[in-house]
A = this chain, B = another copy of it.
Amino acid sequence: MALTTARTMPGVMELLPLDQIAFQDMLDTIRRTYERFGFLPIETPVIEFTDVLLTKTGGETERQVYFVQSTGSLKQGDEPDLALRFDLTVPLARYVAEHERSLSFPFRRYQMQRVYRGESAQRGRFREFYQADIDVIGKDALSIRYDAELPAVIYSVFRDLKIGPFTIQLNNRKIMRGFFEGLGITDGEQQTLVLREVDKLDKRGAGHVRETLTGESFALSAEVAQKILDLVQIRSHGHDDALAKLATLGQGSDTFNQGIAEMHEVLTLIRAFGVPESHYMLNLSIARGLDYYTGTVYETTLNDHPQIGSICSGGRYENLATHYTKSHLPGVGISIGATRLFWQLREAKLLGSAQSTVQVLVTQMEEASLPIYLELAMQLRNAGINTEAVMEASKLGKQFKYADRAGIRFVLVLGPDEIAKGAVTVKDLRKEDQYEVLRGDLIKTLRVELEQAAVMPLS
């Protein structure tokens, strides 16, 4: 029989078990933190109706959509009326509109699922990837205070992920738009285009941005361009400096003043949430690409790895679900692209060595004692210790080698001597230690070792 080559499509991240465990640990940490802050889980179907999914845009997003057809529909030559979601925001809007009467507002949801984009095949670009999102959705109105809660969540997530120092960068689109108004750039479309340019500041440099703004397409005066550059180059260092820099901006249009007031409240509350001032700053060049955002915007970067770019972004939006409901649903949210983040951290060698989920291997020294091994394994499992029992006899050395390769920390040996004494020999492959304990003390001993490791990883 001719063989089919076993392969996956480009742009997916498929992991070997030890890497999968490390990735799962990352997702678990994010999920745990989201739940600590009182966000509720939802999951939505991967497949949505195309008319529901593609209300918003006819542009880039639609070109990247994966369409779905059942066998029957394909055979009849129908146009596909189903597609895979490309983010978790459109499904959230659909979900909130559909279940509006069953939900309590402000609705605080988290969602960690895969999304699909027909990206061109390229290293580090994913066609299937996890997003881990939280949003708070208000009915009619939503206090600016939630804009300060999300940075507290971001801080807790990345503190717990232990991937090095990071900074949450804050801006407010009202400050930007208000400032542009003051310079005579009153057209909304034009403001968006300028925002997109200044968003490139950190990547392309001030010279490039100045050239573009004074060039053909924008045709701003050198003076106006300079004023914009002076604004967007503002960065704060510490909490008091952030408030001081904000104060120096003075007064302007209503929009501008509102932006300043919002940012002032957000900064004040971020501190009340206990976020250390080393971990947040004003960065008035942050704009985020999407038109969608109307107030506060966030990006988060690793201090020692700026090339990775933003690892958690989001912001405030005016109305979540205009396409599905007449209800006014303002919200604020953030998103972590977990697949890309994991891939980048691994590339940057920021991930520790992988530990198996299997904690103990019960070896098989002699076949006749198999029932004793199985009983021991079940005792450990019932005590909450993840245990694999060797089912097929092989040389003990081979069993040790298997445990070592598989990243299993404890190997238990019960030969005739140990069985006669009611004891177990414990080999700790991590500490390279070996000792004998009584069977009655085994669970306690292993628990102590495992709890110590959880508090102080050796790695």
- Contact string, A322-357, partner B, CB cutoff 8 A, digits 1/0? 111110000000000000000000000000000011
User: Could you tell me if A17 and B388 are in contact, using CB atoms closer than 8 angstroms?
Assistant: no
**Chain B: CB-nearest residue to A99:** B16
Residue A98 at the chain B interface, CB threshold 8 Å: yes
Residue A175 at the chain B interface, CB threshold 8 Å: no
- Contact string, A35-67, partner B, CB cutoff 8 A, digits 1/0? 111101111111111011001000000111111
Contact stretch, chosen from A100-108, A299-307, A424-432, A440-448: A100-108
Copies of this protein in the complex = 2
- Of B14, B55, B118, B321, which one neighbours A71 at CB under 8 angstroms? B118
User: Could you tell me if A391 and B146 are in contact, using CB atoms closer than 8 angstroms?
Assistant: yes
With a cutoff of 8 Å between Cβ atoms, the chain B residues found around residue A17 in the complex are: 40-42, 103, 109
The interface residues of chain A, by DSSP majority, are classed as mixed
Least Cβ–Cβ distance between A455 and chain B, in angstroms: 13
User: Could you tell me if A35 and B269 are in contact, using CB atoms closer than 8 angstroms?
Assistant: no
Residue A236 at the chain B interface, CB threshold 8 Å: no
Known: A47-B127, A62-B71. 17 other contacts (CB 8 A): A3-B325, A6-B52, A6-B325, A9-B82, A15-B42, A15-B43, A17-B40, A38-B389, A66-B82, A67-B71, A68-B68, A68-B84, A143-B391, A143-B392, A145-B370, A149-B389, A269-B370
User: Could you tell me if A63 and B71 are in contact, using CB atoms closer than 8 angstroms?
Assistant: yes
Are A14 and B43 also in contact (CB < 8 A) when A71-B63, A392-B145, A405-B104 are? yes
User: Could you tell me if B378 and A152 are in contact, using CB atoms closer than 8 angstroms?
Assistant: yes
With a cutoff of 8 Å between Cβ atoms, the chain B residues found around residue A15 in the complex are: 42-43
User: Could you tell me if B40 and A20 are in contact, using CB atoms closer than 8 angstroms?
Assistant: yes
- Of B35, B118, B391, which one neighbours A72 at CB under 8 angstroms? B118
User: Could you tell me if B47 and A6 are in contact, using CB atoms closer than 8 angstroms?
Assistant: no
Are A47 and B71 also in contact (CB < 8 A) when A149-B391, A326-B3, A387-B37 are? no
The 5 sampled A-B contact pairs (Cβ below 8 Å) are A3-B323, A16-B42, A46-B128, A104-B405, A272-B375
A residues at B contact (CB < 8 Å): 1, 3-9, 12, 14-17, 20-21, 24, 35-38, 40-49, 51-52, 55, 62-72, 74, 80, 82, 84, 93-95, 97-99, 102-104, 106, 108-109, 114, 116, 118, 127-128, 143, 145-146, 149, 152, 156, 269, 272-274, 321-326, 356-358, 361, 370-371, 374-375, 378, 381, 384-389, 391-392, 402, 405-406
